[in-house]
Amino acid sequence: MKGRILTKQRCKKCKVKYAAKNLDANGIYCPTCLTTPNRYYINGRAFGLEYIYSDPKTNKPFETYSQAIGVLIDINKAWKEAGEKKSRFKAEDFLPAEIVKKRFENLYESMLKLCEEEVRKSAKSKSRLHNLVAHQRFIVPFFRGKDIRDANYLDIETFYIRLLGKCATHNYADGGMYQCGYTTCPIRTPLSSRYIQDILDTLRGIFIKYRPNDIPQFPKFTVIPTVEKQRLGIAREISVLDKVPQRHGYRIGILMLLRSGMRINELPAIKVQDCIDGTVFVDKAFSDGKLKLARKSGGEVEYPLSPELWIMLTEHLEGKGPDEFVFSIDGKSPIPPARWYKVWRKACSDAKVKYICLKHASRHSTASRIMKKHKKDALREIAVQLGHNNLTTGEKHYVIEGRGGMKMAREKGDANNSN
């Protein structure tokens, strides 16, 4: 039988510590005084259980040897059944409830239930719950059975190395495929650095929630973006728009996204009554097939359109009722966001140009265009005010960014005065 039953007590008469070798049917005894202890514990390291001081069913300490041996027999039986069925040994069945609650797998399960409740009440997005479920398959298997109070920096660093694709043993080894006790170490990591950072952020969130006063140190590393942000550009825009079909208003809708920077899931939610005098007023958006508020805080956003685009839109709206969706196939159901992405991707493919995400083409390009426009206007005003022929002269020599720049300028001025 695996496991041992021990005691930490000493004989009250001779003060000698009880030894496990002195054992009879009644338990451990003192060979000199024939006394027995009234507290026992089980050494369950053979099962990955450390020490067990009380009966898991009654939470009462082991006062007799027979109480401890009964639990040890149950543990051996469960261990044997798990081996025969090739299933996981449920160590938590033999631990007190307060210890089980602090284990990573149970804390993660509690966090998932809380997130599900918040999603149901629209306090958090479904994407947050999706990320927690996705990260569970990395965090829980590694930390299973470990008490969060015992986790330290070394555990987190080992987990981080595992995410990188190499175990701790072969972290600095070169070449080849390596076999170790628990994983295969590939040459290249299967996870992007951005995704590894997301997993570590979720793990950090567990410590912040359940161990806020003693958060262990996390490794720092450079996140390499997998997809570089792009601007659409006029040449690529012309080529792709030429391949976007006219039917169902696909081309007008894509143009509205590119010109206004509107969110893709806001486009299907627009109704005819939201289009007023050259401006589109948006207060709803589609999420998971349902019409919801475009902003959690409520309110509407105004997207002004150019005169040319407004004329195209009004022609598209002819014959539609005020409560109908602007973009729909059958006049009732709106065109979902996934369809707009699909149309855009196909147009990029047909135009044989480098693909750019519709979000980058719309929101990122719009923001970059506005910033570039106003920056040029500001530099032009500086050049006129200061009498420069070159627009970049003012930015290079005179523009101070934020309070830090002002402080550096003052220090530099003080240093020059002292000299």
- Please report whether residue 360 resides in a domain: yes
DSSP 179-201: E-SS-EE-SS-SS-HHHHHHHHH
Residue labelled with tokens 């019409």: 291
pLDDT of residue 182: 42
**Spatial distance between the Cα atoms of 164 and 192, rounded to a whole number of angstroms:** 9
CATH code where residue 286 lies: 1.10.443.10
Query: Residue 147 pLDDT more than 90?
Result: no
Give the pLDDT band of residue 200 (cuts 50, 70, 90).
very high
Report the chain's mean pLDDT, rounded to a whole number. Answer: 80
pLDDT tens column, 124-133 = 778 888 999 9
Query: Alpha-carbon torsion 94, 100, 103, 107, what sign?
Result: positive
Query: Residue 288 pLDDT more than 80?
Result: no
- Tally of domains in the chain: 4
Q: What is the mean pLDDT of residues 255-277?
A: 87
Q: Are residues 269 and 194 in the same domain?
A: no
Q: Are residues 351 and 239 in the same domain?
A: yes
Q: Are residues 151 and 246 in the same domain?
A: no
> Two tokens at 81?
């059944």
DSSP one-letter code for 362? I
- Please report whether residue 316 resides in a domain: yes
- Please report whether residue 221 resides in a domain: no
- Reported pTM: 0.47
81-90, 122-131, 165-174, 310-319, range with greatest mean pLDDT: 310-319
**Spatial distance between the Cα atoms of 170 and 176, rounded to a whole number of angstroms:** 11
Q: What is the mean pLDDT of residues 292-313?
A: 82
pLDDT tens column, 310-347 = 999 999 988 888 888 888 877 678 888 888 889 989 99
pLDDT tens column, 97-117 = 556 677 888 889 989 999 899
- Please report whether residue 357 resides in a domain: yes
Structural domain including 20 reads: 4-96
Query: Residue 400 pLDDT more than 70?
Result: no
Q: Are residues 76 and 91 in the same domain?
A: yes
Buried b (16+ CB within 10 A) or exposed e, 109-127: eebeeebeeebeeeebeee
**Spatial distance between the Cα atoms of 241 and 361, rounded to a whole number of angstroms:** 12
- Please report whether residue 146 resides in a domain: yes
CA 374, chain centre distance (Å): 35
Q: Are residues 25 and 109 in the same domain?
A: no
* Residue at a domain's end among 46, 75, 96: 96
Q: Are residues 78 and 92 in the same domain?
A: yes
Q: Are residues 106 and 165 in the same domain?
A: yes
